[in-house]
Chains A and B, each alone.
Chain A
Amino acid sequence: MSSESSKKRKPKVIRSDGAPAEGKRNRSDTEQEGKYYSEEAEVDLRDPGRDYELYKYTCQELQRLMAEIQDLKSRGGKDVAVEIEDRRIQSCVHFMTLKKLNRLAHIRLKKGRDQTHEAKQKVDAYHLQLQNLLYEVMHLQKEITKCLEFKSKHEEIDLVSLEEFYKEAPPDISKAEVTMGDPHQQTLARLDWELEQRKRLAEKYRECLSNKEKILKEIEVKKEYLSSLQPRLNSIMQASLPVQEYLFMPFDQAHKQYETARHLPPPLYVLFVQATAYGQACDKTLSVAIEGSVDEAKALFKPPEDSQDDESDSDAEEEQTTKRRRPTLGVQLDDKRKEMLKRHPLSVMLDLKCKDDSVLHLTFYYLMNLNIMTVKAKVTTATELITPISAGDLLSPDSVLSCLYPGDHGKKTPNPANQYQFDKVGILTLRDYVLDLGHPYLWVQKLGGLHFPKEQPQHTVIADHSLSASHMETTMKLLKTRVQSRLALHKQFASLEHGIVPVTSDCQYLFPAKVVSRLVKWVTIAHEDYMELHFTKDIVEAGLAGDTNLYYMALVERGTAKLQAAVVLNPGYSSIPPIFQLCLNWKGEKTNSNDDNIRAMESEVNVCYKELCGPRPSHQLLTNQLQRLCVLLDVYLETESHDDSVEGPKEFPQEKMCLRLFRGPSRMKPFKYNHPQGFFSHR
């Protein structure tokens, strides 16, 4: 056994080429020198096939011996032990053979592996070399392609074309003889020329820069000079102000106005421009001014961040102050209403001066959220007016401009889009706020260039100069006529209240010299009262008695006869005549429904009013109508046929000269007065 173990040699794994193999050879050399039994050498000598046969034979023998031992053991006996021993020894010998064979097999295996390993190593080495070489080849190929693809920067430069180059370049650069043949040289030459050119241009550029600097400096100097001039000019203008005033050429003032005008909202601006233009061109009695706070107007256009800051501040303040009491819904709504009806801080004032030195002051406002303009009017006269009782409404700011154009009563907003805005804040109509805000007449919108077509409400209505210009002249004329007719009426009313019909001398010819019937009363009556009168129903039904008119009651008397006249005065007096409705109380009540002659009297005053207009501007119409009424009453009473059955003389003897007393199927009285003959006839 010990010899067996010493013979065992564990084969060492060869990890790499060469070196351990040498180590092993060294050992095997030393072993050979010691004359050791080298099993490795024996392996080379024996034949593996025969070893295999031996193995098989040994295995068979072992099996046979085991079987015999088995038999012997089972048989039993005395001889058995010796035979068993014999066979045991044989099997041991066989075992030893097997072991040797096993060792040999292992050694062979190891050898085989070693050889394979070596070969493999070699192959690997070659393989690596091959790989390296291939890699190098590839690398070199890449390099070659790179080199081939290399683009020189010089190709990116747009060189001047060949012909130009040869034309322009100086010969020492172009070197035609050399470069013509050799493209490389040609390119070099061209590059040279390019460089040359660039250098020259860089030179020029520097020169230009320096020039520019110089000029800039000069400009600076001049600017300073000019800016120093501005304050001097201002001081000259200031100094010239007294001279301007002296010469009545207020340029400075106009200039200031234009400055302020820049802050006006567009409609007011249009109005301002058109009114100033009109005033300068056509009408010297018109003067235009701007009132209001420019700072507030500027404040409206503050940038949003500022205003948000302001809002947050003010909110904080508000919270503090109103912590105790939350604002009620009504107050909030009220605020919203106020916000909606807010006016622009600037307003335009127009002053129209009339012939008799009375002035109509018009102040135009712009309601920003509603996009409409309103106007407030005031009439001032040269001398103080004592207002008669009945003339209260004539010049009141509320009604003096009512119905300047037919139907323009100024109580409703002309912008149809406003209705939706009103619904949101609970405003029913603008009428309630008109006293405060001014009247939004249609002509005011037109003067501001705002046009609200009735068919479709537009989202944004822009102020249009041409619209304003086309209406300016007519409106100014109408305004003047209106003021003058109202003032004339004012004076006339004062006289009428005293029972005197003021007939001017140039209208005297319309009436006979002697008029006996007298006006005893002249009062205003309310619209509702007029509608309640029984003899005014025709006028009411014809739609002539609206609420924009003024109503009066006149009483003419002669003897026992009393004639009541209800008068409708249209705001458009005197182009639209006053309308009279009569009721005579004398021997019964006679009105136009039961007496044809009363109807004829009304016709004389209402329909034939054109004769009574008098000289233009026909302010005498009303007084002439009243005087004619008195004359008509005279004629009526005097021509009444005498009732034979009643005793006594006629109450009114006939004094008027009449050709015929009755005419026509309706037996009309002679109401027409003929001048200068002085007699009465029929129409």
Chain B
Amino acid sequence: MERAVPHAVPLGQMEVFQTLQRLHMTIFSQSVSPCGKFLAAGNNYGQIAVFSLSAALSSEAKEESKKPVVTFQAHDGPVYSMVSTDRHLLSAGDGEVKAWLWAEILKKGCKELWRRQPPYRTSLEVPEINALLLVPKENSLILAGGDCQLHAMDLETGAFTRALRGHTDYIHCLALRERSPEVLSGGEDGAVRLWDLRTAKEVQTIEVYKHEECSRPHNGRWIGCLATDSDWMVCGGGPALTLWHLRSSTPTTIFPMRAPQKHVTFYQDLILSAGQGRCVNQWQLSGELKAQVPGSSPGLLSLSLNQQPAAPECKVLTAAGNSCRVDVFTNLGYRAFSLSF
């Protein structure tokens, strides 16, 4: 197949450097604003870009609408995780969590509202924070990452209330089980652990790699993604993407996806997953692949569903990963367009 080769533009040093940066950019995290109209994305250079979803989705959208409204340097290291409260955007990467006001974030030169660092044991290397989880009932934030612990931080006071230890290797992902409330964490050590927040104790452990149906030793044992729906949990990573029944700790459905998955979420009656490979996969609970929608990045790391009630016209699925682009799916059937850093 002959491709039209783009004409090589005469590039000065600055342009070449910027092009190379964009080629090697990875977007790790996304978060939707409380009004539902904006999407923040964090990349491996520590930058956060805020896109206007309403402008990009409107009928007069031009090429500039697909560019960020504002981009700023948030962290020194990559921004691995972001969540939004009803007023703040919380971002975390290299050992610190910072808060930004959504109302202020569109202005140039925005400064963080506050920054906190959980108490780490080691001082040789600052561990990264891979996952942030909001617990609305307690108004607290759970952080987990490189130091193999879950830290709970009270959002009002900013104090670190608890540290949950149990993982033997760093933690990849967190999920909240609303009912109890319990927190699930998946880590590099291949185990999914359930923690009770009130007692600060580990309630249940599922070592996924020990189950033959889903383990894939050649990929490793690490758990890259977690999602839970009270009684059910789906997790994936090195082992295959599997649906578990939590009370009995048994794998009920194994999704036949060879590539390791990096992000999984429940949506209506489907399970959406994405990982190595271009596509966003849609699974039925029975384990059948309903659809595979290709995106524009060679690998995906994060999915975000904009379900904010305030902006129903911006109800889209956005996917980002190993590129400088965020794919926007207006309906789950195809990729509508891509926002770009």
- A residues contacting B by CB (< 8 A) are 403, 406-408, 531, 538-549, 570, 572, 575-577, 579, 592-594, 596, 599, 602-603, 606-607, 641, 643-646, 659-660, 662-667, 681-683
Residues in B whose Cβ lies below 8 Å from that of A542: 6, 19, 22-23
A531 & B5 in contact (Cβ 8 Å cutoff): yes
- Whether A541 contacts B217 by the Cβ 8 Å rule is no
Q: Is B11 a contact of A665 with CB atoms below 8 Å?
A: no
Q: In the bound complex, what is the Cα–Cα distance between A60 and B32 (angstroms)?
A: 165
Residues A575 and B24 in contact in the complex (CB < 8 Å), given A665-B224, A666-B301, A683-B77: no
Q: For B262, what are the chain A residues with a Cβ–Cβ distance below 8 Å?
A: 665-666
- Those 10 A-B pairs whose CB atoms lie nearest each other, nearest first: A407-B10, A546-B8, A603-B24, A645-B217, A593-B298, A406-B10, A406-B12, A543-B6, A575-B13, A644-B217
Among B24, B28, B77, B276, max chain A CB count under 10 A is at: B24
With both beta carbons as reference points, the residue of chain A lying nearest to B7 in the complex is identified as A543
Kindly state the separation between the CA atoms of A531 and B8 in the bound complex, as whole angstroms.
12
A153 shortest CB reach to chain B, Å: 89
Chain B residues lying within 8 Å of A572, measured Cβ to Cβ, are 13
Check A544 against B130 for contact (C-beta < 8 Å).
no
B182 at the interface (CB under 8 A from A): no
Given A596-B299, A664-B128, A665-B172, are A544 and B24 neighbors across the interface (CB < 8 Å)?
Answer: no
Would you list 29 pairs from A and B whose C-beta atoms are within 8 A, ordered by A residue?
A408-B10, A541-B6, A543-B8, A543-B19, A547-B8, A570-B16, A572-B13, A575-B13, A579-B20, A592-B322, A593-B298, A596-B299, A599-B24, A599-B322, A606-B20, A607-B21, A607-B24, A641-B220, A643-B217, A659-B124, A659-B125, A660-B125, A660-B146, A663-B128, A663-B170, A664-B78, A665-B172, A666-B26, A666-B262
Tell me the minimal C-beta distance from A176 to chain B in angstroms: 99
Query: Given contacts A407-B10, A576-B12, A666-B262, could you give 17 more A-B pairs where the C-beta distance is less than 8 Å?
Result: A406-B12, A407-B11, A408-B10, A540-B6, A549-B8, A606-B24, A607-B17, A644-B217, A646-B218, A662-B188, A664-B128, A664-B130, A665-B80, A665-B130, A665-B172, A665-B173, A667-B188
Residue from the set A548, A602, A662 with the largest chain B CB neighbour count within 10 Å: A662
The answer to whether B217 touches A592 (Cβ under 8 A) is no
> What string of 1s and 0s marks CB contacts (under 8 Å) between B276-310 and chain A?
10000000000000000000001101000000000
B5 near A540: Cβ-Cβ < 8 Å: yes
Task: Kindly state the separation between the CA atoms of A662 and B80 in the bound complex, as whole angstroms.
Answer: 14
Chain A residues lying within 8 Å of B222, measured Cβ to Cβ, are: 662, 667
Contact with A along B234-247 (1 / 0, CB 8 A): 00000000000000
A666 and B172 CA atoms in complex are apart in Å by 9
Q: Please, which residues of chain A bring their CB within 8 A of the CB of B80?
A: 664-665
Cα-based distance from A406 to B15 in the complex (angstroms): 10
Set of chain B residues within 8 Å of A607, measured between Cβ atoms = 17, 20-21, 24
- Asked if B103 is at the interface of the complex by the 8 Å CB criterion, the answer is no
Whether A548 pairs with B8 at a CB distance below 8 angstroms is yes
Residues of B within 8 A of A (CB): 5-13, 15-17, 19-24, 26, 28, 77-78, 80, 124-125, 128, 130, 146, 170, 172-173, 188, 217-218, 220, 222, 224, 262, 276, 298-299, 301, 322
Shortest A252–chain B CB gap in Å is: 45
With the chains together, A665 CA to B93 CA distance in Å?
11
Q: Which residues of B contact A683 (CB under 8 A)?
A: 77-78
Chain A residues within an 8 Å CB radius of B78: 664, 683
Q: Are B10 and A643 in contact (CB under 8 A)?
A: no
Cβ distance B294 to chain A, nearest Cβ, rounded Å: 13
Given A643-B218, A667-B222, residue A538 in contact with residue B10 (CB < 8 A)? no
Complex interface: chain A residues within 8 A of B173 (CB):
665
Residues of A within 8 A of B5 (CB): 531, 540
In the complex with contacts A659-B125, A662-B188, A539-B220 CB distance below 8 A: no
Closest chain B residue to A575 by CB distance?
A: B13
Contacts of A592 in B (CB 8 A): 298, 322
- In the complex, A230→B87 CA distance in Å? 95
**Residue of B whose beta carbon sits closest to that of A548:** B8
B180–chain A nearest beta-carbon distance, Å: 26
B225 — nearest CB in chain A belongs to which residue?
A: A665
Shortest CB-to-CB span from A401 to chain B, Å, is 15
A593 to B125, CA, bound (A): 30
Decide yes or no: A602 and B24 within 8 Å by CB, A543-B9, A662-B170 being known contacts. Answer: yes
- A683 to B224 Cα, complex, angstroms: 20
- Specify which chain B residues have a CB less than 8 angstroms from the CB of A577 in the assembled complex: 16-17, 20
Instruction: Please name the residue on chain B nearest to A670 by beta carbon.
Output: B125
Chain B residue with the shortest CB-CB distance to A407: B10
| Beta-carbon contact of A594 and B298 below 8 Å | yes
Known contacts A607-B21, A663-B128, A681-B125; decide if A576 and B16 are in contact (CB<8 Å).
yes
> Looking across the interface, which residue of chain A has its beta carbon closest to that of B76?
A683
Tell me, in angstroms, the Cα distance from A662 to B23 when the chains sit together: 23
Q: Which residue of A lies closest to B278 (CB)?
A: A593
CA distance A682 to B94 in the complex (A): 11
Return B130 CB to nearest CB of chain A, in Å. Answer: 6
Tell me if B8 and A663 are in contact (CB < 8 A).
no
- CA distance in complex: A86, B298 (Å): 177
Contacts of A682 in B (CB 8 A): 128
The distance in angstroms between the C-alpha atoms of A599 and B262, with both chains bound, is 17
- CB pair A545–B128 under 8 Å, yes or no, is no
Q: How far is the CA of A683 from the CA of B16 in the complex (A)?
A: 22
